[in-house]
Amino acid sequence: MAKTSVANNVTRSNRKWIIGYSITGFILFITYQFLIPWEGLPLGIYDAVYRWMPPSAINESLVYVIMALGLNIVVGYAGLLDLGYVAFWAIGGYCAGWFMSEFFYFLNINFFGSVPAEAPGIHINFWMVLLLGGFICAFFGVLIGAPTLRLKSDYLALVTLGFGEIIPQVFFNGENFFGFNISNGTKGIVGVDPIPVGVKDLGPFDFGWKLLIFLLLTAIMVFVSLRLRKGRLGRAWLAIREDELAASMMGVPLMRTKLASYAVGAFAGGLGGVAFATHVNGVYAERFNFTISIFLLAMVVLGGMGNVWGVILGAFILSWVNGNGLTAFGQLYNEQFGTEVDFASFTFLLFGLVLILMMLFKREGLLPESRLKLMLHEDELDDEDASTSKKKVGK
């Protein structure tokens, strides 16, 4: 009876969050697609929106949300510490560069692409490249996971850290990869195909419609995360996260279950990589560095590991502060007080302080998962129970 009541509460809570997400997404889309381009909008509102929440920053935040939701499956659900998640972002991004541009100019392949058929290069439809990038990343997730997931905690973190360093370096020096140019090195791959949506093709400055696409991709990741969390595989991930030995004794196949989490998480990395390439209209090797992996992990920790809505909140907060919020606050502060403080340079100092404070006072994150919250506060609850029992005995 109690179990059914808890399940109903979770369902009601998820329903409220889904409604809130849909309303927020609808308001953002109307604002950026119709309201901002309207010439009758008062200049003050226009300036405020572009200072505090420009459309490019919102779109980039959504890409970070997609990536953080993927990492949450690996870290938050299965409890596998992954410090190299940026590698999947890079692979996904280069999938967009390879299959949606003129990079391979000596070929002429066009499969439902959004450019003329005679255009040189490989031009595959954006929606197919999304799946292609996701599956290629999932393959690499299984490839790297198979020999390493027998490791635990710190050792696994070190191996994934190495993977996250190696893959971006391969692309960074990929101008001559065994005689082939696979990435154009530091110059990157500039210009990817527009996104076809039927009535028009979305270029790099169609922020409003791209916002809708990124919202859709985020909604798909939310749906997948919630469904997996509720199913048998999700319960197996939680069992491994909480006690790997007990899970194996209960018949959970450890390797297969861990590999599944890596594959699903990597698939999300591929989606995010392709989406990001269309957002910045290119792929640039210097964007895929170690700090991105830590940044994504901080989003998961801040929001609440294992809680989809918490991770979305954490990703939005950190990506907004990093991308635009701190700079906008600095401009306002300098205008008000006549100073020239470079607030953007304090970004990582601020993030470090936030993480320290979170670990000291709210380890479970802003919106914690109920199971994880109980685990982290198990000792405090035991002390409370013991104290209550003593009082009853005293009476």
Are the C-beta atoms of residues 103 and 191 closer than 8 Å to each other?
A: no
Question: Is the pLDDT reported for residue 3 higher than 60?
Answer: no
Among 5-9, 81-85, 123-127, 371-375, the least confident range:
5-9
**Per-residue model confidence (pLDDT) at position 2:** 53
Residue 95's pLDDT band (cuts 50, 70, 90) = very high
In a domain, 2, yes or no: no
In a domain, 26, yes or no: no
Question: Is the pLDDT reported for residue 371 higher than 80?
Answer: no
Average pLDDT on 257-277 reads 94
The residue with greater pLDDT, 270 or 358, is 270
**Per-residue model confidence (pLDDT) at position 246:** 92
- Separation between Cα atoms, residue 21 and residue 315, nearest integer Å: 14
Average pLDDT on 209-224 reads 94
The residue with greater pLDDT, 134 or 378, is 134
In a domain, 231, yes or no: yes
Q: How much of the chain, in percent, has pLDDT values that exceed 90? A: 45
Q: pTM of the predicted model, to two decimals?
A: 0.90
Reading phi first (left if > 0) and then psi (alpha if -120 to 50, else beta), residue 190 is in beta
Question: Is the pLDDT reported for residue 88 higher than 90?
Answer: yes
In a domain, 179, yes or no: yes
Residue 276's pLDDT band (cuts 50, 70, 90) = very high
The domain total for the chain is 1
Question: Is the pLDDT reported for residue 270 higher than 90?
Answer: yes
The CATH code of the domain that includes 322 is 1.10.3470
Question: Is the pLDDT reported for residue 365 higher than 90?
Answer: no
Average pLDDT on 91-96 reads 95
Average pLDDT on 27-37 reads 88
- Domain span at residue 141 reads 36-390
In a domain, 262, yes or no: yes
Residue 110's pLDDT band (cuts 50, 70, 90) = very high
Mean pLDDT of the chain: 87
Average pLDDT on 162-172 reads 90
Q: How much of the chain, in percent, has pLDDT values that exceed 70? A: 92
**Per-residue model confidence (pLDDT) at position 44:** 84
In a domain, 315, yes or no: yes
Question: Is the pLDDT reported for residue 394 higher than 90?
Answer: no
The residue with greater pLDDT, 14 or 97, is 97
Average pLDDT on 11-20 reads 84
**Per-residue model confidence (pLDDT) at position 146:** 83
Q: Structure tokens of 190?
A: 């500039």
In a domain, 10, yes or no: no
Average pLDDT on 350-371 reads 83
In a domain, 7, yes or no: no
Residue 382's pLDDT band (cuts 50, 70, 90) = low
Residue 300's pLDDT band (cuts 50, 70, 90) = very high
**Per-residue model confidence (pLDDT) at position 354:** 84
**Per-residue model confidence (pLDDT) at position 222:** 94
- Separation between Cα atoms, residue 198 and residue 373, nearest integer Å: 46
Residue 213's pLDDT band (cuts 50, 70, 90) = very high
Question: Is the pLDDT reported for residue 143 higher than 60?
Answer: yes
**Per-residue model confidence (pLDDT) at position 41:** 78
